[in-house]
Amino acid sequence: MKLIFLPGPAAESTTLDSAKFAHKAICLMALLLPFMAGAGLVWLLSVSERSELGQQMLSQWRAQLSQQESLVNQAQTQIIDELSGITLQVAELEARIIRLDALGEQIATKAQLDDGEFDFSLRPALGGPKVEAVNGDLIAINNDLPLTKLLAELNAHVEKSEQELTLLDKQLAAKELRLEAFVAGKPIKKGWMSSSYGHRIDPFSGHKAWHDGVDFAGAEGSDVIAVAGGIVTDASSRSGYGKMVELNHGNGYVTRYAHNHSLTVKVGDIVEKGQVIALMGSSGRSTGPHVHFEVLRNGKSVNPERYIYRASL
């Protein structure tokens, strides 16, 4: 097919052969097609690489976010665990401080301190001049100390106080025990000394004889008391002594109370100083109501008078 172009009346016409044009176009397309295909392939590869790179970066970001989330969860768990541990430590310290207060009150009572001198039911009195903040921080001196270290120091302080108060309590208890076991005083509440320690005239034979104790006369049935705290090692009738009580006070000291009407304690009983252990009588080798009082030290008889008039600790 041919195309004829007429530009004007006087101009020459132009003829275009469509077959030749198509042939040229096809040739041109054949030449351009490889270049276009190559360019398209390059563009596709570029887009694909950008997509893969984006996917890799997205994966990396997701991995980093997941790792950070895991770290945050671990930190939260650690904080919760530490707070739980601190709460338990604070509760334990509070309980120990309550015990310290109770022990302090007990020791203050034992030591017979003045009322109000050590009142463990009140908070300790504090004071001092006002200290201005340094850089807005009043406790800058402790800024470098973690809370756990502060709790450890407080725990050590409480433990030291516990040890000191416990030791003091033991010392006071030992002192009380020594005072309780200290042999001193008379074995009666009412009466008088009717016979002394040593050589005397025997009331039955009329001859000079040795007397291992002292006698206190009084009314029948009056109280016979322990001159010191101790353990009853004998509470029975013994030849010559009648109904007798023997007490062991420790440190080698033993006391005996004889010629009683009746006994109020038995072997194995723990008695306190001043406790009634018998009622005065005239059992055994006796001429009337009285108590025969002996003091033995390391198994040997000693003069009871040095303990009867002995000053208390």
pLDDT at 175: 62
| Cβ–Cβ < 8 Å for 67, 128 | no
pLDDT at 205: 81
Residue closest to 188 by CA, chosen among 277, 297, 283: 277
Q: Which residues, 6+ apart, have CB-to-CB distance to 166 below 8 Å?
A: 103
pLDDT at 84: 74
What is the rounded distance in angstroms from the CA atom of residue 183 to the CA atom of residue 297? 11
| Cβ–Cβ < 8 Å for 288, 217 | yes
pLDDT at 218: 94
pLDDT at 298: 92
SS3 111: coil
What is the rounded distance in angstroms from the CA atom of residue 216 to the CA atom of residue 67? 95
pLDDT digits (tens, 9 = 90+) for 125-183: 556 666 554 454 444 444 455 666 777 777 777 777 777 667 666 666 666 666 667 88
Domain boundaries, the chain: 66-121+145-181, 192-308
pLDDT at 138: 41
Residues of the chain with pLDDT under 50: 3, 5, 16, 133-134, 136-143
Which pTM value belongs to this model?
0.49
Q: Output the CATH code of domain 192-308.
A: 2.70.70.10
Residue closest to 277 by CA, chosen among 239, 243, 251: 243
pLDDT at 136: 47
Residue closest to 95 by CA, chosen among 188, 21, 173, 158: 158
DSSP string, 249-289: EETTEEEEEEEEEEES--TT-EE-TT-EEEEEB--SS-SSS
SS3 188: strand
Q: Which residues, 6+ apart, have CB-to-CB distance to 286 below 8 Å?
A: 242, 259, 292
The DSSP bridge partners found for residue 276 are: 225
- Parallel, antiparallel, or unpaired: how do β-strands 300-302 and 290-297 relate? antiparallel
| Cβ–Cβ < 8 Å for 227, 185 | yes
